[in-house]
Chains A and B, each alone.
Chain A
Amino acid sequence: MQNVQKKPAKMVSYAKYGYIFIAPFFLAYAFFMLYPLINTFLLSFQGNGEATGGQWVGIQNYQWLLFGSEGEFSPGAAIHESFMNDLFNTIILWVGNFVIQLVLSLLLAVWFSDVRVKIKGTGFFKVVMYLPNIITAASVAGIFLMLFGNSKYGAINSMLINWGIFSEPFKFIDDVWVSRILVMFIQSWMWFGNTTLLLMSGIFGIDPAIFEAASIDGSSGMHTFFRITMPILKPIFIYVVITSLIGGLQMFDIPYLLHEGSTLKPQLETAAVFIYKHFQMYYPQNFGYSATASIILFVITAILGIIIYRFNTDSTAPKKVKAAKSSK
């Protein structure tokens, strides 16, 4: 930029190349993202399935999804309950997975970057711990489905029965909370390596001299972590939270595929599964419900993103003020 401003006369003649070079990106974006987004918005005001598909129904979808309709077993009430259930699952599954993942990742990141206590084979551990992240999520669902199968032919059940801990197979996949915990575990299993590496890159950015000084001053491990590591880690930490949040709201593969037989598990249905289900399993498709859920999800994501972003910039504001003052 600065370079450009120095020699404006020379650059101007090449301006058209700028447009040409960025044109493919914007054309593709408009066609594959922006218009679909607008289309989703329009579809959210249209009906569903055989009955009202393709017709304009106003805000009925929003009304039904968010507030339901009268009568305990009316379609509006049923779809409301199903959507709220899926939204609740999304939050539960994300929070559960994120807490496990974050605690483990912070611990490992601090350990791996500790200059005093060197762990042998750190390189090997990092490679192994990132491995689950690279494996296809659909296959991961398959792996855990076969390990934790409901029947006694599932690997874990068969082990527990052989060791005499259970006399009968436990339905890991069918049980409401056990299956949710399983999904949280799988998500953490897949993502903790990635989070560890991200956090480590933040910690490595910290000058080792600070740690040395802290250790000479007799600062305990805990103290060092909360007073020195965490504050400096904040930007990367926020980045991890935002990306995980967006990823979490889209959580699909594992909850969608983790079931035996042909029906989805209601306790694992996430908002993304709700969206997918209504245009994939019904025909004519329930585009209205899918689109409305998408828009609601989009708004939630945007609000959460802004909150976290504000939270971040607000806390750094005092520093800027200080810097401004000192420059005076």
Chain B
Amino acid sequence: MANENARSMREREYERKIKAQAIIRFIVCVIITIICLFPLFIIFINATRSSNDIILQGVSFLPGDYLLNNIGTLSDPEAAFGSYVMTYNVWYGYMNSLIIAVSSTVLSVFFSGLTAYGLTVYDFKLKKIATTFILAVMMVPTQVVSTGFLEFMIRIKLYDNYIPLILPAIAAPSVVFFILQYMKASFPVEIVEAARIDGCGEFMTFIRIAIPMLKPAFAVQAIFAFVASWNNYYNPSMLLLSNKLEQRTMPMMVASILGNDKCVDYGVRYVAVALSILPIIIIYLCLSKFIVKGVALGAVKG
């Protein structure tokens, strides 16, 4: 009896300890959450306040009623003699980033799939070397080739357009690697032979049979390729030499409004930054579960 009592005491003690631990951990997580969200919160709050309010009142935790005015100033050709419209155009930004991100994502996923498929399904002399090569160059950082890349693009006059921003996506070693792994685990090569017997051409087999089967792997890689391309600042700002407004991507828009000495209205600056991150936050919130799972599946840090 006494023994049992002592054990239940110990158990209760243990449970209490666990509970206390859980509460402490929960509080720490809440604090981290606040640190994660606070900067974004301030950006969105200040985007709704007037510059004058921000200068005189400092930080506020309540939104103002100036959001539309700020957006108006941002697109007003007369404001600051048109500095805002010459520096930052949200639609160009969205459009250009979207064009580049979508095309490079499609190319990257499609050709990586094709390469992985070629390396899995067929047997040929250079297969092993090709596979090894892809694994070996997977970790080569792209920025170490940027000087030679830029000089080469200037020489063949491929600057100031999107081709050198989109076409290199065809060669994405890490995506190939990921799809290769995926195919090893869940793509029976026999299915290709069955298709051949049915009289399906090699390329059509890839399109009709392999792509549908590889969809989950494609989806994961597509989302990360898209985000990486959308967020890329280094390459577009390097290759778009003239830095024309109509060609700027969203990160370039943000960089140019931050650096502009005439665009000094605080409310407008906050709105500009807020608009630049809004779409990606919305996309993330819609796909968050999928993305969080995808990270563990093998996204490579960029």
Touching chains A and B, CB distance < 8 Å: yes
Which residues does A use to contact B, with CB under 8 Å? 3-4, 8, 10-12, 14-22, 24-29, 32-33, 35-43, 104, 108, 111, 116-121, 123, 125-132, 134-139, 141-147, 152-153, 155, 158-159, 161-162, 189, 191, 193-194, 197-198, 200-201, 204, 242-244, 246-247, 249-250, 252-253, 257, 262, 272, 275-276, 279-280, 285, 287, 290-291, 294-295, 297-298, 301, 305
**Given known A38-B148, A198-B295, contact A244–B122 (CB-CB < 8 A):** no
Judge whether B144 and A119 touch: CB under 8 Å. Answer: no
How many A-B contacts at CB < 8 Å in the complex?
Answer: 305
Q: Is B199 an interface residue, CB under 8 A from the partner?
A: no
Name the interface size band of chain B.
35 or more
Q: Which of A33, A118, A198, A275 contacts B137 (CB 8 A)?
A: A33
List 5 other contacts, CB 8 Å, given A8-B123, A136-B233, A139-B273. Answer: A4-B189, A33-B168, A143-B42, A200-B296, A298-B141
Judge whether B22 and A117 touch: CB under 8 Å. Answer: yes
Judge whether B123 and A11 touch: CB under 8 Å. Answer: yes
> Which A residue sits closest to B37, measured CB to CB?
A128
Judge whether B202 and A17 touch: CB under 8 Å. Answer: yes
> Which B residue sits closest to A289, measured CB to CB?
B147
What distance in Å separates the Cβ of A265 from its nearest Cβ neighbour in chain B?
A: 13
Q: Is B170 an interface residue, CB under 8 A from the partner?
A: yes
Q: Is B266 an interface residue, CB under 8 A from the partner?
A: yes
**Given known A21-B122, A36-B145, A276-B234, contact A129–B151 (CB-CB < 8 A):** no
* A276 to B239 alpha-carbon distance, docked (Å): 11
Judge whether A201 and B296 touch: CB under 8 Å. Answer: yes
Q: Is B185 an interface residue, CB under 8 A from the partner?
A: no
Judge whether A147 and B42 touch: CB under 8 Å. Answer: yes
Which residues of chain B in 261-302 are interfacial with respect to chain A, using CB atoms and an 8 Å cutoff?
261, 266, 269-270, 273, 276-277, 280-281, 284, 288-289, 291-292, 295-297, 299-302
Q: Is B25 an interface residue, CB under 8 A from the partner?
A: yes
Judge whether A29 and B171 touch: CB under 8 Å. Answer: yes
> Which B residue sits closest to A116, measured CB to CB?
B18
Closest 5 CB pairs of A and B: A21-B118, A158-B58, A18-B122, A39-B148, A40-B148
Q: List 7 A-B contacts (CB under 8 A).
A: A25-B134, A136-B254, A142-B258, A143-B40, A146-B273, A153-B266, A253-B233
Q: Is B209 an interface residue, CB under 8 A from the partner?
A: no
Q: Is B62 an interface residue, CB under 8 A from the partner?
A: no
Residues of the B chain whose Cβ atoms lie less than 8 Å from the Cβ of A28: 111, 167-168, 170-171
Judge whether A32 and B251 touch: CB under 8 Å. Answer: no
Residues of the B chain whose Cβ atoms lie less than 8 Å from the Cβ of A291: 147-148
Q: Is B181 an interface residue, CB under 8 A from the partner?
A: no
* A43 to B151 alpha-carbon distance, docked (Å): 9
Judge whether B170 and A252 touch: CB under 8 Å. Answer: no
Judge whether B141 and A29 touch: CB under 8 Å. Answer: no
Judge whether B26 and A120 touch: CB under 8 Å. Answer: yes
| Stretch with Cβ within 8 A of A (4 or more), from B2-10, B27-35, B74-82, B212-220 | B27-35
* A145 to B122 alpha-carbon distance, docked (Å): 53
Residues of the B chain whose Cβ atoms lie less than 8 Å from the Cβ of A297: 141, 143-144
Q: Is B230 an interface residue, CB under 8 A from the partner?
A: yes
What distance in Å separates the Cβ of B81 from its nearest Cβ neighbour in chain A?
A: 19
* A141 to B237 alpha-carbon distance, docked (Å): 16
Q: Which of B125, B251, B258 contacts A136 (CB 8 A)?
A: B251
* A136 to B231 alpha-carbon distance, docked (Å): 5
Residues of the B chain whose Cβ atoms lie less than 8 Å from the Cβ of A198: 295-296
> Which A residue sits closest to B294, measured CB to CB?
A197
